Structure formats: structure tokens, C-alpha cells
Amino acid sequence: MTYRIMDMDEWYGCVDRLDYAFQPIICSHTGRCFAVEALLRNWKSAGFESIFDVFDTAFDQETLFDVDIFLREKAIKKFAQIDSHTKLKLFYNIDNRIMEKEDYFSGKTGKIINSNFLTADALCFELSERFRWNETTQLEKVIKSYKDQGYPIAIDDYGSGFSGLQLLYSAEPMYIKIDRFFIKEIDKNARKKLFVTNIIKLAHTLGIKVIAEGIETTGEYFNCIEIGCDYLQGYFIAYPKIDISVIRADYSDVCPKERRACNQETEISEFISNNLLRIKPVNNRSTSFTELFRCFKENKTHNAVPVTNDVGEPVGIIPEHSLKEYVYAPFGKEILEKGGRNHYIAPFIIPVPSTDITSSMEHILELFYNLNEKDNTGYIFITDMGCYIGMLSATTLLNAIHERELKVARDINPLTGLFGNVIIRQFVFDTLTKKTCCNRLFVYFDFDYFKPFNDYFGFRIGDRAIQLFADTLKSILSCDDFFIGHVGGDDFFCSADVQDVIFGVKRVTEVQKLFSENVKMFYDNEHCEKGAIELTGRDGEVRYYPLLSVSAAVIVINESSSFVDEDTFYSKLADLKKKAKIAANGIVVYTFNGNYETGNYPEPDSMTKLSIGC
């Protein structure tokens, strides 16, 4: 399109008409407002067709840098008027084309920040993938300039543009924002979920926090929490608002407490309190090397010093070994101590993965497994609402792994090798408190007529029958990623997420049918022909008992189900167990928010439809 020519006076008038709306970015663990993103508004009334039109016009007319500084000042001034701005960050999108202009120079933003009584840590520049960087050296120069001034860096719309992994590698950002393309319907698209999960793993390994942007549905919200996004942004949480008075410090009501319980486990709390290294951090911009050497002297048992920014967020660590080249060189230590601050300490800082205090033990152990062996830092930061509270060492985590393995080993059923009661109950609790985007099946298996079988054949054959059923479960359900557990005696439990309930129930009936066939190996031909065994009771009367079989109580929780607490779950399961034993096919299926259905279910081979209580 053809752009009109404007002098700077006209641009001043346009900038006056433009305004900024702020959209909250919240912590996935707590719901606390962590930051706001500045989004340009009123561009139509200023005579532009879009937000991009504003910057494209300025770029073509060689005024992009000046216009961006005017807009930057407008955004910062408005941000400073937010009641809780001292506890927030401002995410500001920067057009990387300004670095191509001859009039570009650094330092103007610092004056704006200082005049509004803010620190550099409060402003995070978002680098866009929309335009290709002309050359890597230009990118590195820009990033170094911003980092030396203390500004955090974020990559915006990650995965949508030209640079991809190259930008992630070169920028070494503090944050990346996953593009809306990957977030949209992530709860319904396994490929997107896989992509984002692996991006998160890579980012966390590099010590980078992940922001999911463009969240618009409940399913997207809970899936982003489940796969480990640190921060969340989108219409589901809050729309961008020009009126800053509506910006809240807390958005925890967006996520019901029951659903957030999966991110608030107490398993790690005791572990952290007993093992957390509360080493006092140094500041990334105001610490001299003299102070740094004093820290190493005071903490002789630790080989690294944590580094934070002005607002207490972890930046990285300085390993002791990185300074040895200077310490043992002639006058090396003196050169460092007289060299100054900030920009001298920065090259020694190594990024370290960090996680919130409410994270699960699995997540912490995963971060440990992915530690960079080359840097050999051996530490992970623990934060509370984004701020540093301490570190966990590799040794501590190794001990945790060992203790965890011992704990699991103690709760493995020795007869079947399946998970025991403690792990089953923990699994149920974890699963109930997580939002599901498909159908979640819980199945309780209970032998029918096991006591007379045991009395007739003896405990040894009874144990063999239990082992046979365990093997049957493994052979049929393991390939579909079922969790399989042995409650004890002749009671078993399994669970899985399935897209199709009929498919899941079919698997259950296959288990019942195969076990009923295989268990006949313990009977003789006469028993099989009669379909029963005879036992003489204490009263001298002969009674006939059917061959050993298994009944199944199935509970279904789907996306539309309301929150189900443990007491309600186990109470319903106990009721269903009784009804399964008298059901025609030995199975009942119950969908929460509904009623149980005994149903005459067809055989697995002919199963096409299934009546589910709802």
C-alpha cells in the first residue's frame, strides 16, 4: 500500500491519539498477576489500518526509532500508574527493524525508566519472529546492549516466524511466549501438545520460563498448566483493557481451587524445607568482584553463588571454577576487583533451570536429568512466585531419587509385581485433581467366588489364579497405557484416559472373558462341564459354586463432569462393586453426574454401542 508522508509534528499528533491496553500474564501455579503486556490501541482513529500499519509507515518514512521511543514512553508512563506496578513487569513488543536505522542508539529507555521511578527489571522487551534479522551479529549486538542495561528479554510468538531455534540460541532469553497457533485446541490435538511439551522441556533445561499466550478455553488453560507452562495469557484469563483500574493483583479465581490442587501438592514442601540451600544471592548489576569473592569465602561448602536481579528473580549462578583462570593468574584477582561491576560480572553468569516451590517432584527430577553436563553446575533454583528462595543440589536430588525408588519398591505387591495400595491412592488423588480433556476410566476388578475356589484348591492355587489375572491385565491393558495396580487379595485396579468410552469398556470385557477362559486350566473336565464345583459346608450340606470369574465396576469422568472429591469417588466405587456382582455380564459403568447402568452388554466381538449412565 502507499503510505502518506508525515513530518514529526504529524507523528506527535498520531502518537497522542494512540493508547495502550494492558493484558495480564498470570503465574500458572498461583494465579497471581506476574506481568502485563502493552498492546497498541486506537490506531484506527489515528488513521491507520492496523497495528502493523503504524510501524510499517514509520519504517518506510525513516522515523521508526523516534516513533517507537514516543510509544515506549507512553506505555511506561501508563504502566507506572497501575496500583500494583511495583510487583509487575511490563512486556513491550519491539520492532527489530529499528536497529537498522542510522539514528538508532541505546540509552533513551533508561532515562524514561528512571523518570518513572522504575528499574530496568520491570521492562521486558519482546523480540518478534515476524521479521528476519539481517545478520546474527546485529542480533547479538542488540541483545547484549539490552542485557547490559539490565532488561529481561522475551521471544514473542515463538514457533511462528523465521528464526525459531536460531533466535532461541542467540538471544538466551529469560522468557519465551508460545505462539497462539500451538495453544489453540491443544487439549484436542495430541501433536500440538507433544510439540509444546518438548519446547517447554528444552526451555526449562536452558533456564528459560515459558508463557502460553492466546488461551481462550478451559481445555487450553488446564492443558497448559498440566504440561508445565510457567505463565498464562489470553482472553480466558482477562481481555486487554485500556482502563488500568481493572487490572487485578490476583486472578486465582479463574482456576477453581479443586482443579488447581494438582499444582499445589505438598509432597515437595517438606523435602525442600529439609534440603534447600538458602545461599544469599548476589545482584546481577550491583555486585562487585570483591563482594563475590567474599561470598565464596563465606560459603566454603558450596561451589557456586546464585545471582538475582533487582526484583529477586533468579538470573543464574557463578560457578567457582569459572573464576579459577583469573584467581590463579598473576594479578588476575586484582584485575577483576578493579575492573568494576555489572558488565564484568555478566560473562560469568550461567543460566540455571528454575521451578516454583509448588512444582511436583517429577518435574524437579526431570529438570535434574536435563542439567547441562558441560557446565557441571549441578544446581536447580527454587522460586516462590517467581522470586529466588534457594537452590537444590545434584547430590540432594540423587538422594531424593534413591529414597523415591525405595518408597515405590516398598509398595510393590510381591505376588504380582504391581503397584500397591499407597501408590494407587496417590494416583487416584492426582488424577481426580487434574482436569481431563477426554474420558478418564477407573476400573475396580473383584473376583467372584474366590473363597470357595481357595477352599477347594488351596492357597497355592489361589495365588496362581491371582498371578494369572495380573498377567491377563498386563497383556491386554499395558499396550493402551493403563495404570495397573493390585489393591490386595483378589482386588485389582486400573485406569486410563481414552477418547472412546466404548473402546475402554471393551478392553475391560476382554480382560473378563480371557480370564474366565484361562482360569479353566485349574479345573478338571467335570467341573468345566458342570460350570461349577461342589463343596460340603460345615453343616454337612453340599453346595455348588460357579467357576471363578471377575466382575468390574467402571467409573467414567469426562470433560463435562464437575469436580469429584475422593470421598465421593470411593463411596460410589463401593456401591458399584456390589452392583457389578449381580449384573448380568458382571460389569457396571457409571458416568459422574449420572446414574449407574447394569445393562446387558454385548460380547466384545460384536460390541458397537454401549449404554452409559449419564
CA distances to 8, 123, 149, 343 from 346, rounded to whole Å, are: 38, 19, 11, 5
pLDDT at 406: 65
Q: Are 262 and 434 in contact (CB under 8 A)?
A: yes
C-alpha cell read off for 431 = 488424577
609: pLDDT confidence band, cut at 50, 70 and 90? very low
pLDDT at 161: 58
| pLDDT over 70 (residue 432) | yes
pLDDT tens digit string along 381-410? Answer: 888 777 899 888 877 777 766 666 666 666
Residue 559 DSSP one-character state: T
| pLDDT over 50 (residue 598) | no
In Å, how far from its chain's centre is CA 284?
Answer: 28
Q: Of the segments 15-19, 77-81, 197-201, 384-388, which one has the largest average pLDDT value?
A: 77-81
| pLDDT over 50 (residue 261) | no
Domains 268-401 and 411-606 share a fold: no
Residue 32 DSSP one-character state: B
| pLDDT over 50 (residue 239) | yes
pLDDT tens digit string along 326-337? Answer: 776 666 666 676
| pLDDT over 90 (residue 264) | no
For the ranges 29-38, 147-156, 239-248, 370-379, the lowest mean pLDDT is seen at: 370-379
349: pLDDT confidence band, cut at 50, 70 and 90? confident
Report which of residues 364 and 407 the model is more confident about: 364
For the chain, how are helix, strand and coil distributed in percent, rounded to 5? Answer: 45, 20, 35
pLDDT at 584: 83
| pLDDT over 60 (residue 612) | no
pLDDT at 611: 34
* All structural domains of the chain with their residue ranges: 15-264, 268-401, 411-606
Tell me the CATH number of domain 411-606, given options 3.50.50.60, 3.30.70.270, 3.30.365.10, 3.10.20.30: 3.30.70.270
Tell me the CATH number of domain 268-401, given options 3.10.580.10, 3.90.650.10, 3.40.50.300, 3.40.50.720: 3.10.580.10
Backbone angles phi, psi at 456, to 5 degrees: -75, -45
| pLDDT over 90 (residue 171) | no
pLDDT at 547: 93
Give the start-end residues of each E strand in 362-499.
Answer: 379-384, 387-393, 439-448, 483-488, 491-498
Helices (H), 519-601: 525-530, 566-582
Tell me how crowded residue 228 is: count the other CB atoms within 10 A of its CB: 22
pTM: 0.61
Question: The domain 15-264: what is its CATH number?
Answer: 3.20.20.450
The mean pLDDT value for 203-217 works out to: 90
pLDDT at 46: 83
C-alpha cell read off for 495 = 485406569
pLDDT at 257: 44
The mean pLDDT value for 523-536 works out to: 89
